[in-house]
Chains A and B, each alone.
Chain A
């Protein structure tokens, strides 16, 4: 299945792009996606403990099972105000 990934804030600087796609097996979790992304974008590894993850517009944890067509957003801690 194809998963679209969006990077926000300085994660765009760390990856050099705002968007990417990954092909993953059916039933793959966010954790499996992150493992792929950490190989592809090694600068994200240093941020792995503070990375926030959303699928669509909802936060999800690393065990969340992805579905075909999902858009996953990765970003650093939020700082509004």
Chain B
């Protein structure tokens, strides 16, 4: 499985990422997810979220998740994930994910699983900014 992980303070340009899609002739599903900063956090209006990470551990934990994803869904051809760090304003994307697979069931299932597991194990934290 091809994997690409980016943890960066640079803005997420979805169109550029989609344009860089690579899929072989045997693949029929490209599932995308974009997580966007909401304007409220625990009922409070916010302007942005400041994301912090423990980078070495985050990269290690993401690669463990990719390993497990490959074991669970061996037909997946690639996973690309971008997580923004630093201050991300409301309505801007903080997370972008692409899963390429032969069929949609495994692509959707893997995308959902990866995001759920990321929120449980990858050391990234957020600080809402008023």
Chain B residues near A75: list those with CB within 8 A: 54, 123, 125
A78: which of B94, B115, B123 is its contact (CB, 8 Å)? B123
How many chain-A residues does the 8 Å CB contact rule pick out?
17
A79 at the interface (CB under 8 A from B): yes
User: On chain B, which size bracket covers the interface?
Assistant: 20 to 34
Known pairs A57-B56, A57-B60, A57-B61; A8 contacts B35 (CB<8 A): no
B122 touches A78 (CB 8 A): yes
Instruction: Give me 8 other A-B pairs in contact (C-beta within 8 A), A10-B127, A79-B125 excluded.
Output: A8-B123, A54-B123, A75-B54, A78-B119, A78-B121, A80-B51, A80-B125, A81-B95
Q: Is B57 an interface residue (CB 8 A)?
A: yes
Q: Interface of A with B (CB < 8 Å)?
A: 6, 8-10, 52, 54, 56-59, 73, 75-76, 78-81
Q: Which residue of B lies closest to A13 (CB)?
A: B127
Chain A residues contacting B118 (CB-CB under 8 Å) are 80-81
